[in-house]
Amino acid sequence: MEILKAKEKSKAQEYLKQAASLGARSRCLKRPRGVVIILNDKVIGEGWNAPADDHVCKECLRDRMKPMIFSTFNTEPCYAVHAEQRAIFNAFKAGYSDLSNAKMYFSRTDRDGKYMPCDDGPSCTICSKLILEAGIKSFVYETINDGVVELSSKEFNDLSMKNVEDSLE
């Protein structure tokens, strides 16, 4: 994990704001998120979490799940395509097949689209595995405690898996 400073941090914050603006499009009732994938200072993929079709959630299915089922399955079942998934699919659809030098910038927002640093570690193994398998170089996000951080995709996946494992204890 690298804590970004100075120019790198400033540039990352620009991309995180772009991702947050996408999070404002989210139709998720619980966890609005936005993502941009950057390659050579160019946005090649954008994503926000929302159902793949025109489904409108009246309630979050996870609220109806028992706590153990929720912690075991983490974020599923859910109608939403995750922001990370949508951004990767959009990059592939745009013809970008080699993401090995690309960085993913992740933002969390409130229901009004206001940017919020993360207060917990990564835990979506669905997305962390997809990011790793897609070959994305790194994952960048802002935390309350550490500021803007960059993790290699492997570090991000390992940390996501560890956080889920720890939640089961």
pLDDT tens per residue, the chain (169 residues)? Answer: 999 999 999 999 999 999 999 998 888 777 889 999 999 999 999 999 988 887 777 776 666 765 555 554 455 667 789 999 999 999 999 999 999 999 999 999 987 778 899 988 888 899 999 999 999 999 999 999 999 999 999 999 999 999 888 887 7
Superfamily designation of domain 2-167 = Cytidine Deaminase, domain 2 (3.40.140.10)
pTM over 0.75: yes
116: exposed, middle or buried (Cβ count in 10 Å: 0-12, 13-18, 19+)? middle
The pair of three-digit structure tokens given for residue 127, joined into one six-digit string:
């997305």
Alpha carbon distance 159, 25 (integer Å): 28
